[in-house]
Amino acid sequence: MKITCNRDKLLQAFQTVAPVAPARSPKPILQNVKMEVADGIATLMATDLEISIRYQTDGVEIDSAGSVVLPVQRFGSILRECTDSVFKLDTDGQNTVIRGERSKFNLPAENPLDFPAIAKFEEAAYYETSARLLKELIRRTVFATDHESSRYALGGVKLEWADGKLTGVGTDGRRLARMEGPMNAVGEPTAFGEPTIVPSKALLLIDRTIHDDDGEVHLAVRQNEILVRTSRGMLSTRLLEGRFPRWRDVFPTRNNAQQVTLSVGPFYSAVRQAAIVTSDESRGVNFTFADGTLTLAGRAAEVGESHVELPISYDGPSITSSLDPRYLMDFLKVLDGERSFTIDILDGDSAVVCSTDDGFGYVIMPLARDR
């Protein structure tokens, strides 16, 4: 194989697939990225045997087609540190030579045939949604998962599809994030089953792979894996095993709850201020809704007290709920500061529900109050 590459394009593609390759593995071949070149396109592949990725890039002039296995650490460093806009790559199966204008690197080559086969998206029937929606769904749910829990199902986002709508749900048992939006079925694709729980790590990699200008994204479900295809690449991942919580029971239906509309920016600022004096032992902040004012009060014996007031449109009864400000900040940081959201509060012992007008819902359980 012998090619001339655009360094910037190859670097971007390499950095997209390289995070899939494990840093350590009993199979050293997995610590590499495989590249196949043909018809002016370079296809880069990586896998840890749980997650696999394919990603294409142009900007390649091919003198002779073929494939090569590239070590993630050393070849990645060459791409980053090289200052040439174009360089040549040549491999004979024994050695791989990378040449820049004033640099040359010689790396030992492994047999591309030893690299595991990477799945292809070959389904004729699949689901289709916008790249922007899928990225937003990932961003608004994956933060609420818990990859350290012994309940493996909490380490991913549960995906569901019904009536032309995709729903993603992430929870760690203390808060729950749900995002939904339109997704069409092309043909009669395999249904999303009860165990369609996508690992958080895979979702973050999918987010890196998808670009806003990709337009439509295709999804296909197999028995124990899900595949996501964009205009540039494809990522497949095994699904998590385990029982996911009955998340619909967590979203309360309360006709007598108080609903307050808040602006993200000012509320986020108030929460950050109140959280300054919290600690690992005293994480709670009291949120009191009363007489047109939201009062945030935090107190930790070893660090002091905070008292922050935020004018709001509220004339209902006084309600105080003790919440972990970190959970609220996680919700607020994925929203545009200019937008508004609705907070639904019943009393100090019930869950607080936050929602936006574009399908994003978030439930936080209150902390026990001792004051």
Convert 26-63 into a string of H (helix), E (strand) and C (coil).
CCHHHHEEEEEEECCEEEEEEECCCEEEEEEECCEEEE
- % of the chain residues with pLDDT over 90: 78
**Which residues contact residue 201 at a Cβ distance below 8 angstroms, ignoring those fewer than 6 apart?**
51, 147
> What's the topology of domain 2-114?
DNA Polymerase III; Chain A, domain 2 (3.10.150)
The pLDDT of residue 127 is: 97
CATH 3.10.150.10 residue ranges in the chain?
Answer: 2-114, 126-246, 251-364
Instruction: Give domain 126-246's CATH number out of 3.90.1150.10, 3.40.50.360, 3.40.50.300, 3.10.150.10.
Output: 3.10.150.10
Instruction: Give domain 251-364's CATH number out of 3.90.1300.10, 3.10.150.10, 3.40.50.300, 3.10.300.10.
Output: 3.10.150.10
Residue 243, classified by CB atoms within 10 Å of its CB into exposed (0-12), middle (13-18) or buried (19+), is exposed
Better-scored residue on pLDDT, 257 or 147 = 257
Entry pTM: 0.91
| pLDDT tens for each residue of 123-142 | 999 999 999 999 999 999 99
Span 317-339, mean pLDDT? 96
Which tokens belong to 260? Answer: 């307050």
Residue 52 scores a pLDDT above 70 = yes
Q: What share of the chain is helix, strand, coil (3-state, %, to 5)?
A: 25, 40, 35
- Nearest alpha-carbon partner for 209 in 44, 34, 332: 44
Which tokens belong to 287? Answer: 């949120």
Looking at residue 352, the DSSP 8-state letter turns out to be E
Span 303-320, mean pLDDT? 94
CA 297 to the chain's CA centroid: 32
The pLDDT of residue 102 is: 86
Better-scored residue on pLDDT, 302 or 262 = 262
Mean pLDDT for all residues in the chain? 93
- In one letter, which amino acid is 289? F
- In one letter, which amino acid is 103? S
